[in-house]
Amino acid sequence: MLDSELIKDQLYDGVIDGDEAVVAGLTHEALDAGLAAGSVLYDALIPALQEVGALFERGEYFVPEMLTGAKAMKAGLNILRPILARTGAKPVGTYVLLTVKGDIHDIGKDLVRVMLEGSGFNVVDLGVNVSPETLIEAVKEHQPEVLGFSAFLTTTMPMFKVNIDALKEAGLRDKVRIMVGGAPVSEEFAVHVGADGYAAEASTASRIAIDFVQNPDTSPYLLQKGEHAATKTYAKIKGTGKALKWPSRRLPAKPSMTSLERVLAVLRHQEPDRVPHFEWVHDVDLIKNMTHGGGYWDLVDLLDIDGVMVAPTYRKTSLGNNIYSDEWGAVREIGKDNYGMPVDAKAPIKGYEDLETWQPPDPEADFRYEPIKVAVERFGGKRAIILQMRDVWSGPRDYMGYAQLFINLKERPALVEAVVQKCVDHYIRVIQRAAEMGVNVVFSGDDVADNRGPMFAPNLWENLFLPHYRRLTTAIHEAGLYHWKHSDGNMYPLLDSIVAAGSDGIDPIDPSGGMELKVVKAKYGDRVAIKGNVDQTELLMYGPPEAVVESVKSCIVDAGVGGGYVCSSSNSIHSGVDPELYKIMVDSIHHYGQYPLDMELLAPAKA
Ligand code: B1M
């Protein structure tokens, strides 16, 4: 008979390694060897998953390791569950979890779910974009001890309070503990909305939830309302009421460069006549509002935006109810911000067998290039025409499913690479054709990092993704174009390789990820152009206007000296951005960004 301690040690290691088959096999062995199901769970599986969470918190594990660890743990738990049920063991408690209405980010919530399940909770996951009405129904039906709300956007964080008010109105608020979390959420905000708990990480979230159930009155994590002085207003600031004063130095009647020359000068690390401006994405309704019903290209003219984004066409087939399928085989649901979010369960690539039939759309189809033709006719030779593409990450994310991609990175990296290969082959051909039509720059928006850093281990970047990334940048240069790389989050660990791979520009030097323009400028400014980073998570939403002006000035001081810099938001002009504040940002760039830079003018305003 096997030593029971040895089996438990091996089970523990199996979860740490994320090895589902090993954990399932050892769980059977442990039971056959006479170990109690409870002992297997509480002495091996639960401590192992807690260690996986701790490794993630310490930055030693990434999302793939966390998801495969949870999957392995679940393989053991599924075997134990019927036995535990027979012996009368009950779940730690019931936990209803959701991402709030208007928000479709799910992976952070999913990690919270796996940690809760691993800690013995019965989790009812309501998914993303969940309305208060659905929440109330679920609370009535499942009577959870704890409710968890995730929000990942400043615009959706107020839904915490809307949900809590709805619970109050339904007479349910006092029956549950409420926890909140998500990248932009803070403990202070949790207090502000009247939640009971907040956690920055998934593993802490599950520890607090256990505490809520076991020590409902004395939990040390219970937020002490009133003890945390709220320093932020969390309310829309309407501005200070004072009219903004622009510097007395007059704008030249006629700029000495075209927008195209300006952007190209930046890409060659030279000083243009003034700091250019363009954005990766503008919200459709904001465009309509600013142009009185016009489109993106009207906005470009209205604000004198230097770079024009244009994407190839991929046809959609409507499936009704805001759901459509696209030419890549993905099924998408249109939500807030008009984002066509892939429905992961319908992702076209589930396994190697799908690779034989799954093909990217035909890059030779002429209709794909219609928007490019029109953009070149309207703006060619005057403004920089920027082809909006992807590079190595978003393809597998959308065609395998986000969570499944992370799992595949650990379990089937060759499958992921095959998808990357096919996507990049397609992009290269599209880029070649677009180059022939007069495009100037390729801009690839592919988010591989969050606030902590890259979402997967560095060796995967080096060995799996980077070779294809290099293939892409080489093809872009061979087509006579420049490449601008966009990724959210803390990109510091990847920048050396991205710059070495030949990218010509970096965007948006994300301040939420702790990145600083002046640091990137000092280290890479002689090799790449830099774009960013006026904060869109609060400043461009709430102001005040004077702070927007000051932020533009400080960005120009940090990154604009000597040229090589495009001033823009720190992500996109999304639906929460105030059009007036965006206009003030653009006007500030025009007024303060003229070369030679006037450092006196750019000095911070006296308080
Ligand atoms: Co979006 N996005 N996004 N995005 N995206 C963020 C969140 C953003 C911070 C990027 C940035 O500005 N740097 C920004 C929000 C800024 C803000 O408002 N404060 C943003 C934006 C602006 C947008 C769009 C508006 C962009 C646009 O279209 N113009 C749009 C909005 C769509 C919508 O929801 N309506 C959008 C779209 C998308 C994609 C669809 C492309 C994709 C989501 C895919 C998906 O989720 N299936 C996406 C992604 C991937 C991101 C980033 C890059 C990464 C998010 C992620 O998966 N992180 C993100 C950048 C960033 O975070 N810096 C960004 C990995 C995950 C493991 O971490 O989510 O932090 P995280 O979860 C952690 C903790 O927060 C915590 O535990 C988890 C594990 O430890 N936690 C909890 C989470 N929930 C918790 C609950 C708890 C307790 C802890 O208690 C209940």
Q: What are 419-429's pLDDT values in tens digits?
A: 999 999 999 99
On average, the pLDDT of the chain sits at: 93
State the distance from the centre of ligand 1 to the C-alpha of 2, rounded, in angstroms. 46
| Least-confidence region, from 65-69, 117-121, 287-291, 564-568 | 117-121
pLDDT, position 221: 57
pLDDT band with cut points at 50, 70 and 90 for residue 226: very low
pTM equals 0.93
Distance from C-alpha of 234 to C-alpha of 251, rounded to nearest angstrom: 36
pLDDT digits 0-9 by tens, 123-175: 999 999 999 999 999 999 999 999 999 999 999 999 999 999 999 999 999 99
| Mean pLDDT across 390-415 | 97
State the distance from the centre of ligand 1 to the C-alpha of 450, rounded, in angstroms. 8
| Mean pLDDT across 555-575 | 97
pLDDT band with cut points at 50, 70 and 90 for residue 85: confident
pLDDT, position 240: 59
- Is any atom of ligand 1 closer than 6 Å to the C-beta of 539? no
pLDDT digits 0-9 by tens, 12-23: 999 999 999 999
What is the dihedral angle through the alpha carbons of 39, 41, 42, 47, rounded to the nearest 10 degrees?
A: 130
The amino acid present at 538, given as its one-letter code, is E
State the distance from the centre of ligand 1 to the C-alpha of 153, rounded, in angstroms. 7
| Mean pLDDT across 345-352 | 95
Cα 593 → chain centroid: 30
User: 321 vs 258, which has greater pLDDT?
Assistant: 258
For residues 574 and 337, the answer to whether their CB atoms sit within 8 Å is: yes
pLDDT, position 220: 52
Task: Give the gyration radius of the chain's Cα atoms.
Answer: 26
pLDDT band with cut points at 50, 70 and 90 for residue 193: very high
Q: Ligand 1, from 67, 488, 494, 575: best to mutate by most atoms within 8 Å of Cβ?
A: 488
- Is any atom of ligand 1 closer than 6 Å to the C-beta of 453? no
- Is any atom of ligand 1 closer than 6 Å to the C-beta of 404? no
Residue nearest to atom 87 of ligand 1 (CA): 181
State the distance from the centre of ligand 1 to the C-alpha of 511, rounded, in angstroms. 14
pLDDT band with cut points at 50, 70 and 90 for residue 339: confident
pLDDT, position 239: 61
State the distance from the centre of ligand 1 to the C-alpha of 320, rounded, in angstroms. 27
- Is any atom of ligand 1 closer than 6 Å to the C-beta of 489? yes
State the distance from the centre of ligand 1 to the C-alpha of 236, rounded, in angstroms. 22
| Mean pLDDT across 252-276 | 94
**Alpha-carbon distance values, 375 to 32, 194, 287, 370, 493 (Å):** 69, 49, 17, 9, 36
Q: Does residue 100 sit in helix, strand or coil?
A: strand
Q: Is residue 29's pLDDT more than 60?
A: yes
State the distance from the centre of ligand 1 to the C-alpha of 354, rounded, in angstroms. 29
Which atom in ligand 1 lies closest to the alpha carbon of residue 337? Answer: 35
The amino acid present at 590, given as its one-letter code, is H
State the distance from the centre of ligand 1 to the C-alpha of 237, rounded, in angstroms. 24
- Is any atom of ligand 1 closer than 6 Å to the C-beta of 488? yes
Give 20's contacts (C-beta < 8 A, 6+ positions apart).
68, 71, 72, 75
Q: Is residue 224's pLDDT more than 70?
A: no
Which atom in ligand 1 lies closest to the alpha carbon of residue 512? Answer: 13
pLDDT band with cut points at 50, 70 and 90 for residue 493: very high
- Is any atom of ligand 1 closer than 6 Å to the C-beta of 104? yes
* Structure tokens, 42: 């509480």
Q: Is residue 228's pLDDT more than 50?
A: no
- Is any atom of ligand 1 closer than 6 Å to the C-beta of 280? no
* Structure tokens, 578: 């105030």
Distance from C-alpha of 477 to C-alpha of 577, rounded to nearest angstrom: 34
Distance from C-alpha of 325 to C-alpha of 331, rounded to nearest angstrom: 4
pLDDT digits 0-9 by tens, 494-534: 999 999 999 999 999 999 999 999 999 999 999 999 999 99
Which atom in ligand 1 lies closest to the alpha carbon of residue 151? Answer: 84
| Mean pLDDT across 450-459 | 95
Distance from C-alpha of 603 to C-alpha of 366, rounded to nearest angstrom: 51
Write b or e for each residue in 5-40: b if 16 or more Cβ atoms lie within 10 A of its Cβ, otherwise e.
Answer: eebbebbbebbbbbbbebbbbbbeebbeeebbbeeb
Residue nearest to atom 86 of ligand 1 (CA): 181
| Mean pLDDT across 345-369 | 96
For residues 75 and 38, the answer to whether their CB atoms sit within 8 Å is: no
pLDDT band with cut points at 50, 70 and 90 for residue 388: very high
Which residue reads 């980010």 in tokens? 105
State the distance from the centre of ligand 1 to the C-alpha of 183, rounded, in angstroms. 6
State the distance from the centre of ligand 1 to the C-alpha of 517, rounded, in angstroms. 22
* Structure tokens, 187: 């403990």
Q: Is residue 295's pLDDT more than 80?
A: yes
Look at the chain and count its residues.
607
Which atom in ligand 1 lies closest to the alpha carbon of residue 571? Answer: 12
- Is any atom of ligand 1 closer than 6 Å to the C-beta of 122? no
Q: Ligand 1, from 100, 105, 106: best to mutate by most atoms within 8 Å of Cβ?
A: 105
pLDDT band with cut points at 50, 70 and 90 for residue 1: very low
| Mean pLDDT across 574-600 | 95
Burial class (CB in 10 A: 0-12, 13-18, 19+), 360: buried
